[in-house]
Amino acid sequence: EAELLYGYRYLQSHPSSGTTDLLKIYCHNPEDLTSEQLGYIGVATAEEARAKLVSDTNRFINEIISKADKTLNFFVTSDYFVGCMQAGVTNYGYDHSGNNPWVNWCSGVCIVAHTDGTYDAFAVKCNKK
């Protein structure tokens, strides 16, 4: 569904350029966001940015689950979603281990939906050797 897949869902408004750079800061160092960048996200402080990213990720995961066919599903998307979702499901806690602090070709989020309506979500990122 086009609405579900809209690549900028984590931003309230879209910069004319530099979206990836903005999302990298949002997902890794929200304290480094400028007031203009915070405005694109729709918040006034880094603390609000952190809360919004986690809230938006939870809402997005629930949308994905509600549209799934309740068996094994794959959702393939861009780094705009994956980077934000990884930061959101871990509350900014995943370890980059010296790697580029953005997603790579093998990044993702694993979502396990339970019959009681809850879910577990895990950041997945492999290291290229």
Closest CA to 13 of 43, 34, 33: 43
- Mean pLDDT of the chain, nearest integer: 81
Q: Which two tokens mark 121?
A: 């979500």
Q: Is the pLDDT of residue 28 over 70?
A: yes
Percent of the chain with pLDDT strictly greater than 70:
81
Span 85-106, mean pLDDT?
70
Q: Is the pLDDT of residue 50 over 70?
A: yes
How many CA atoms lie less than 13 Å away from 72 in the CB half-sphere? 0
Span 35-53, mean pLDDT?
95
Confidence of residue 128 (pLDDT cuts 50, 70, 90): low
Q: Is the pLDDT of residue 100 over 60?
A: no
Confidence of residue 44 (pLDDT cuts 50, 70, 90): very high
What angle, 0 to 180 degrees and rounded to 10, lies between the N-to-C axes of helices 46-67 and 19-28? 100
Burial of 112 (0-12, 13-18, 19+ CB in 10 A): exposed
Closest CA to 25 of 6, 7, 40, 3: 40
Q: How far apart are the first and last CA of the chain?
A: 36
Q: Find residue 124's DSSP bridge partners.
A: 108
Q: pTM of the prediction?
A: 0.80
Confidence of residue 14 (pLDDT cuts 50, 70, 90): confident
